Structure 1
Amino acid sequence: MQTRIEKHKHSGHQMVLTDRILMRTLAIILVHVLFLLVTFFLDGLDYKAKVSLFAFFSAMTLWVTTKFPAGYVALAIVCFIVLMKGGSQELLFHSLSEEVVWLMFGAFIIGEAVTQSGLAARFVEFILRKSRTAGRMKLGIISFIFSTAFFIPSTSGRAAMAKPIITHVGSRLSAGEKRVLAVTVPIVILMSTSAVLIGAGSHIIGIGLLESATGQYISYLQWLVWGMPFALVVTILSVLVIKCLMGREEESADSARRETKTNIEVTKPLTKAEKKTLLIVAFLLAGWMTENVHGYDLAFVTVLGAIVMTLPNIGVISWKQGIKSVSWNLILFVAAATALGRILVETGLVQWLEGKLTGFLFLLSQAPGWIMVLGILLITSTSHLYITSHTTRAIVLMPGIILFSQSTGISPSAAVFLSLIGMNYCITFPVSSKALLLFYEDGDLSYDAGFLTKLSAILLPVYITVAVVFYCTYWQWTGMSLH
């Protein structure tokens, strides 16, 4: 009798589960039909642009609402574009030649070398010895990551450097704490980008366009005065929001003491492997920081570092160890997703959107300053939804922003600064930032794409509100004004 009841309950549970799957599938199909109708009736776009737009909407929907592997979805969407004649076959083949692919390839190998050498463990030991609770340990990691914005001019480079450290820390945390850390670290990297002029390549591009078009310039010190307090406030608020959404971590003194019992003493002299790794990482940091001097991209410098790390008798790990450490699923996802972002630019879809958005700004030209700031921030902070590359966003949007400022008589330097601050917000989808991609679908230390979208729904209005408040108070007090 009991067995029959249990079978009945199990059958009922299976039916409910099947109904939920069926309802979700129907909802996804209906959403795709809606996307198809919207793109079909849009004016000003040719066939290829419409195919690319529909494919982009489809990819975002599948990433957020289904459990299909992200790499599988990205590759399938790129193949769909090619099949529908929305792009050439080279779109797929050339996707593996993207800079971010080779940056991540090298970053995985370097991260493995840092871990195998013992440097990651040594750094973790230092943090643990200074931390009596898990919360303080996380605070120490966050503070260190925030500070890297001052000497690594790339969110990708900062993520690549932080990843082995975070992976090592994750081995000492519970599953819940790992999930919190996997989201917190890339968010802190992105939110702290606004602190300094060299925090992102888009800053350099925007300031360069400003100087060539208007003769105005924002110095390193001026950016620091404006950007540092803002970055600090939004970083703190972001961490607090994540903590509220994901629950409080266990911070008992007993667990902290248990975590600090490790095999490596901080006072122990550096080993030969650690010295080698430290020296190579120092050269890597120098290479990343002086990209504008030597002219080699971050990806090339990173791959070069990976080669040195695996050199026989000189490196720290073998080539075979390095290759095994690469997450090829993530590499393929990044390659296909980046190609998807690039096709949006090549088909003219991004330029079409730029024209629509710049026209919206002209409607606000006679509005009060804070309303105009709100309009600029709404456009630039949501631009990551349709322009996945941070650098591309600056290249595409900045000329229009500068033209708008000159046409309406507002300060070009203030408009450019506010626009770049807005463009630094890019956390809605994993594909929105390379820093997010590095931590996405990476074994135990990963996060859910759906949660990221939920988090962005809260953080985006918070981010914009803080920026508007800063403009009305601190930024105007320190000499920045649109009028």
Structure 2
Amino acid sequence: MTGKENKEFKPIWVIVSFAVLIAINLIPAPDDLSVIGLRALSILAFAVIMWVTEAVKYPVSAVMIATLMIVLLGFSPVGELGETLGDADLSGSDMLGTSNALSLAFVGFSTSAVALVAAALFLASAMQITNLHKRMALYVLKVVGNKTNAIVLGTIMVSVILAFFVPSATARAGAVIPILIGMVAAFGLTKQSKLATLLVITAVQAVSIWNVGIKTAAAQNLVAIGFINEAMGQDVSWIEWFIYAAPWSILMSIVLYFTMTRLFKSETSEIEGGREMIQQEIEKLGPIKPSEIRLIIIAGLLLAMWSTEGILHPFDSASVTLIALALMLAPKLGVFTWKQVEGTINWGTIIVFAIGISLGTVLLRTGAAQWLSDVTFGAMGLQSMPLLAVIALVSIFNILIHLGFASATSLASALIPVFIALTTTLGLGESSLGFVLIQQFVICFGFLLPVSAPQNMLAYGTDTFTVQDLLKSGIVLTIVGYILILILSATYWQWIGLI
């Protein structure tokens, strides 16, 4: 077995996952938790161990989780939960049945959030196929000039601009990082230089910051929206999310600039020939192609439709994105063919996303999320605390548990249902939506470790920085980001009625 295969399969953790699953199923269900709820919690424990340890590839674990939902839930008594389990046909049986369990296991595939993620992957693919995202990044870096600090600022600006148009954090990082490494090489420095460390960490941290600010910038945001739609019967439009979250990301971008330019001193204050190198890269791309022009038009219209959702038109984000996808695939009018795009899409992402939503939905419908919320947070006495104190404590819990998760999408799948249930426990009323959104913002914190986010791993693979380098900047950003969450919770978010 090769080293790569070993990384993709960790038998010890697979055994541990199944052992925990079996152990939970063997214990009697507590009085305030149904048997089917206990089964759901056992599947959650299995999923968390698989996700945290990456015992198998994420799509493989998603298929295993779906199978466990079908088998364990299918042979579980439903008791008084029949009405909360959706369209289950329970006639003639006290058991849920595998056909009904199958519907629950695949309920995530029928959500608008999955449609939006799938379409967003196509949009990110269109940017990569046409190289439009690289052209945009090059032009911004060309404008900012040769000064090192100006290039740091330009790197942040590129990440901000791409966040509006490229709904994939990994794709955004993948567009910018090779350009920055090329600039370092053009100056005659190695990938281990201080300049390379400064620029690459800046790029990847900026990507994480703007995962918070824009609804469509990260898949985990769409997971949260899916649960909010399902459990709370509410929606958050693109522009509403932007109004809530963008101030935090703007302030954090400023903090990022000063953090990076103070913590990581480059060998030089100016990259001689940097502008020429950028111009050479632009020339390699050649003149702008008709497909790029069409993509610019489609992406611009898409952004306009997203930002005016519920204001100038009735179309939701998922519907608008699917319409854009149809235009991108249209013969003559589009930007790519199906043959071009099918090999560039990570189809496993869609499976992981949908099964994650299914698992969270099961936790909500079986009452398992409510029970877990009561047990986890009940002992902390949160009911007697003011909302700001609750946000402070739960956010710390959120940040700490993220240390074990390599996927914010999986973390959102595990935690958002619990946070939704917590709003019921605490009786937050009109502040419920705001509380859940704020915790989703914290879930996007991926500043500390390479394993905290896929874009971090992509950047770490370039050998331009050490774990300690990322941690040094990440600790500052996490602390300041946390403090900003509390400040905005006490001021801005209250002023605009979010909480």
Task: Report the TM-score range of the alignment, normalised by the length of the smaller protein.
Answer: 0.5 to 0.7
Q: Which has the higher contact order (CA 8 A, sep 6+)?
A: 1
Counterpart in 2 of 1:345? 364
Give the CA deviation at 1:333: 2.4
Determine if contact 2:13/2:55 at 8 Å carries over to the other structure: no
Is 1:190 matched up with 2:211?
yes
Give the CA deviation at 1:279: 1.5
Structure 2: which amino acid aligns with 1:119?
A: L
Give the CA deviation at 1:161: 7.0
Counterpart in 2 of 1:73? 61
Structure 1 spans left out of the alignment, 5+ residues? 1-13, 153-157, 195-199, 213-219, 406-411
For 1:101 and 1:445, how far apart are their aligned partners in 2? 29
Counterpart in 1 of 2:329? 310
Is 1:97 matched up with 2:118?
no
Is 1:128 matched up with 2:141?
yes
For 2:315 and 2:391, how far apart are their aligned partners in 1? 33
Give the CA deviation at 1:98: 3.8
Match of 2:154 among 130, 133, 140: 140
Give the CA deviation at 1:74: 1.7
1:93–1:318 CA distance, 2 compared to 1 (3 A): same
Counterpart in 1 of 2:388? 373
Structure 1: which amino acid aligns with 2:167?
A: A
Structure 2: which amino acid aligns with 1:328?
A: W
1:461–1:56 CA distance, 2 compared to 1 (3 A): farther
Structure 1: which amino acid aligns with 2:119?
A: G
Structure 1: which amino acid aligns with 2:299?
A: V
For 2:35 and 2:275, how far apart are their aligned partners in 1? 62
Counterpart in 1 of 2:124? 111
Structure 1: which amino acid aligns with 2:157?
A: S
Counterpart in 1 of 2:413? 388
Match of 1:83 among 71, 81, 88: 71
Tell me the SS of whatever aligns to 2:388: helix
Counterpart in 2 of 1:160? 167
Give the CA deviation at 1:305: 1.0
TM-score (norm: length of structure 2): 0.62
Give the CA deviation at 1:348: 1.8
Determine if contact 1:108/1:326 at 8 Å carries over to the other structure: yes
Tell me the SS of whatever aligns to 2:442: coil
Determine if contact 1:351/1:396 at 8 Å carries over to the other structure: yes
Structure 2: which amino acid aligns with 1:292?
A: G
Give runs of aligned pairs for residues 320-469 of structure 1, distance below 5 A.
320-355=339-374, 365=384, 373-379=388-394, 382=397, 388=413, 396=421, 398=423, 403-404=427-428, 417=434, 420-427=437-444, 463-468=481-486
Tell me the SS of whatever aligns to 2:73: coil
For 2:417 and 2:395, how far apart are their aligned partners in 1? 12
CA-based RMSD:
5.5
Give the CA deviation at 1:188: 1.2
Counterpart in 1 of 2:90? none
Determine if contact 1:273/1:316 at 8 Å carries over to the other structure: yes
Structure 2: which amino acid aligns with 1:68?
A: V
Determine if contact 1:192/1:231 at 8 Å carries over to the other structure: yes
Q: Percent of aligned positions with the same letter in both sequences?
A: 19
Q: Deviations over 1:5-63 (max 9, x none)?
A: xxxxxxxxx9xx9xx99xx8657755764676567366222222222222222222222
Tell me the SS of whatever aligns to 2:332: coil
Determine if contact 1:361/1:376 at 8 Å carries over to the other structure: no
Structure 2: which amino acid aligns with 1:46?
A: S
For 1:240 and 1:51, how far apart are their aligned partners in 2? 49
Q: Deviations over 1:94-136 (max 9, x none)?
A: 5443434332332233233334445323312212212436775
For 2:41 and 2:114, how far apart are their aligned partners in 1? 23
Determine if contact 1:71/1:334 at 8 Å carries over to the other structure: no
TM-score (norm: length of structure 1): 0.64
